[in-house]
Each structure stands twice: as structure tokens, then as C-alpha cells.
Amino acid sequence: MTKERLVLGGGCFWCVEGVFSNVKGVLTAISGYTGGQIANPSYESICTGTTGHAEIVDIIYDADIVTLSELLDIFFVIHDPTTLNRQGADSGTQYRSVIYYENEKSQIDIEEFIQSIQGNFRTKIVTEVSELGSVYQAEAYHQNYYKLNSSAGYCQAVIAPKLQKFMTKFPQNLG
């Protein structure tokens, strides 16, 4: 087993976690916060948009089962990387499209991937690519949110369609 890490922000972390927790080869998908100026932020502070943090999902995956490229492909299908600080009705810097890297090789691989798919979009991809700093796990009630609340309105209206899109487009990656 070759464990690797990928930290993604693509709007509400419930959506990103809901999809990536179903990807074959993903060992853990933990909702959290990173990219901001304060230590140990709370959900309430994140929602103010003043902390600089993004809602993210910290993904540990087995690179022998799923590749970085496959994970990035899924990420760019399940969210809109061309809208700045917004995903659907969720608006603010905490909802920005962002990928955090841990080393120069990952940074290069991510940037090359983005360049390779830019032609698939009508407008410019605005996904931020930034070095990973401290990651803070979100409160317990945010973890496995879709799995525990799948019948809730937000889950049905927002997360379920993203999950369906993933399952339809990437059946080979369904775990």
C-alpha cells in the first residue's frame, strides 16, 4: 500500500466528502479547514469569511488503487472550478475551489493537470493551488454528513446530484 494525501476544497465540504468517501482507494476523507490565519478555527468563525480558511476535505488514499490524476478528474467534474469563491448558492472565500499540495512534485503534477483540462471549460479555471499548512478537523457533526443525513433537504438537493454524477461518470472508481 502506498499512502498519499490530497487536500481539496470545492465548496461545502459535505459535498466533497460525500463523493470522495465513496471512491475506491480512498482510505479516509475528513472534513476540515485550512489556508487561513487563525489556529483551531470553528465552523462559526469560518462562516464569517474573515479567517482566510477554506472548507476542505483531507483525503488519504492508496496510490496503488487510485491515482492523483483520477482523483483530480473526479474533483473537476463534481464542482465548478470556474466560479471564484462560490459553488451554487454557497458564496464566500471559505467555499473557494482550491487544491493544497505538500511538495513541489505534487504542485507540478496538479498545475499540469489543470492546464491539460482547461480546454474542457468555457471560462478560465480559477482553482487556487497552494502549499498545505496546518489542517484543522471540522467539528464531529460535519464528519460523514451525507452518510448520516442523506434524507435532509440540502443532501438531496445538492450532494445527491454530485454523488450521482460521480457514480455515472466514474463507475470504475466506485468503492
Mean pLDDT of 92-110: 96
% the chain with pLDDT above 90: 98
Residue for grid cell 483540462: 117
Mean pLDDT of 132-155: 97
Helix (H, G, I), strand (E, B) or coil at 146: helix
Query: What's the CA gap between 115 and 69, in Å, rounded?
Result: 13
Domains in the chain: boundaries: 3-173
Mutual orientation of helices 160-169 and 68-78 as an angle, nearest 10°? 130
Q: What is the pLDDT of residues 112-136, one digit of tens each?
A: 999 999 999 999 999 999 999 999 9
Mean pLDDT of 147-172: 95
**12 in catalytic set:** yes
Mean pLDDT of 73-90: 95
Q: Which of 12, 15, 47, 155 is catalytic?
A: 12
Query: What's the CA gap between 29 and 22, in Å, rounded?
Result: 9
- How far, in Å, are 106, 114, 142, 149 from residue 30 at the CA level? 20, 24, 9, 16
Could you say which of 3.40.50.720, 3.30.1060.10, 3.30.1200.10, 3.40.220.10 is the CATH number of the domain covering 3-173?
3.30.1060.10
Residue (of 73, 57, 78, 72) closest to 161 by Cα position:
78
Per-residue pLDDT band for 13 (boundaries 50, 70, 90) equals: very high
Note the pLDDT of residue 82: 97
> pTM of the predicted model, to two decimals?
0.96
Per-residue pLDDT band for 175 (boundaries 50, 70, 90) equals: confident
DSSP string over 38-85: SSS--HHHHTTT-S--EEEEEEEEETTTS-HHHHHHHHHHHS-TTSTT
Q: What is the dihedral of CA 172, 116, 84, 124, to 10 degrees?
A: -130
Q: What is the pLDDT of residues 53-67, one digit of tens each?
A: 999 999 999 999 999
Q: What is the pLDDT of residues 14-48, one digit of tens each?
A: 999 999 999 999 999 999 999 999 999 999 999 99
Note the pLDDT of residue 135: 98
Mean pLDDT of the chain: 96
